[in-house]
Amino acid sequence: KFVKDSGKAGPVIGALLGAVPQCGFSTAASNLYAGKVITMGTLIAIFMSTSDEMIPVFLSEQVDVLVLVKLILIKVFIGLIMGVVIDLIVRRSKKSYNMVEKIGHVCDHDHCGCETSIFKSALRHTITIFAFIVVISFALNTLIHFVGEETLGNLILNKPVIGPLIAGIIGLIPNCASSVVLTQLYIEGVLGLGSLMAGLLAGSGVGILVLFKENTDAENDDMKDNFRILAILYVSGVAWGIIIDALSKIIL
């Protein structure tokens, strides 16, 4: 309700909430967007500002706190800017916003009868999402294990433009492991600041996974909407990564 009532300031609130170091807000945002409670700009702001596992990894490796704060602020700023811009574009487009709230969509989708018990509905929905994430995460972690972090690092090493392009793809992997891999490679000096930020800006933890599961109304072209959001995350993440690469000496 707080985010919805914030109106045009939604992306600002979203960017700040996304900075909290865990993927809870990105998954919640996916559900709220599927229920047409928040705008695309707010969703993008949350996705781009979220750092997933970057903060705990930085803290565990005792990286300079000032560097960490700068990176968080950069992500929040970029998420805020992109969210506001996306909302302006959508509002001025012919399609405009059709924000007819359908939060009941989540209940209807799970056939759980929200009208009888909100606790039962929430519990069933949570268990379904949890099981879905566990299965996909297991498969992705297994793949990353066999591919190897070193192999991923070699793909990005010393490649100014190609680095952010590849890091952005890694960031899109809907799993906490992608942010861990990217952050660890940055700490070890395997990839630059621009590549790190490209991957983290494009990534949203399991948020994108939940979006594709919940935002599935064929009548409203929701699946096309999901791929559009995915493209925005990747293209803008890579673009900002390249810019940050060029300004890395000034930033840090």
pLDDT digits (tens, 9 = 90+) for 157-188: 556 788 889 889 888 888 777 788 888 878 87
- Please report which residue ranges of the chain form alpha helices under DSSP H: 2-5, 10-18, 24-34, 40-49, 54-60, 65-92, 104-110, 118-147, 149-156, 162-172, 176-187, 193-202, 207-214, 222-251
CA 52 from centre of chain: 8
User: Span 200-207, mean pLDDT?
Assistant: 87
Give the model confidence (pLDDT) of 90-103 as tens digits.
888 755 555 555 55
Higher-pLDDT residue of 66, 159: 66
pLDDT at 229 over 90: yes
Q: Is-contact 171 200, C-beta < 8 A?
A: yes
Nearest in space to 47 (alpha carbons), one of 153, 168, 160, 135: 168
Q: What letter does residue 169 receive in the DSSP assignment?
A: H
User: Span 106-115, mean pLDDT?
Assistant: 49
User: Span 6-33, mean pLDDT?
Assistant: 79
Higher-pLDDT residue of 20, 59: 59
Q: Is-contact 57 246, C-beta < 8 A?
A: no
Q: Is-contact 186 196, C-beta < 8 A?
A: yes
Task: Round to whole Å and give the CA distance between 226 and 222.
Answer: 6
User: Span 206-234, mean pLDDT?
Assistant: 84
pLDDT at 149: 61
Nearest in space to 54 (alpha carbons), one of 32, 82, 76: 76
Residues near 217 by beta carbon (within 8 Å), at least 6 away in sequence:
105
Task: Round to whole Å and give the CA distance between 53 and 204.
Answer: 10
pLDDT at 231: 95
Residues near 30 by beta carbon (within 8 Å), at least 6 away in sequence:
43, 207, 208, 210, 211, 214, 215
Q: Kindly report the average pLDDT of the chain as a whole number.
A: 78
Torsion of CA 91, 92, 94, 95, to 10 degrees: -20
Element (H, E) at 15: helix 10-18
pLDDT at 122: 63
pLDDT at 129: 58
> 163: burial class by Cβ within 10 Å (0-12, 13-18, 19+)?
buried
pTM for the whole structure: 0.77
Phi, psi of 35 (to 5 degrees): -90, 5
Amino acid in the structure at residue 90: V
pLDDT at 251: 78
Minimum mean pLDDT range among 68-77, 124-133, 203-212: 124-133
Neighbours of 147 (CB within 10 A): 12
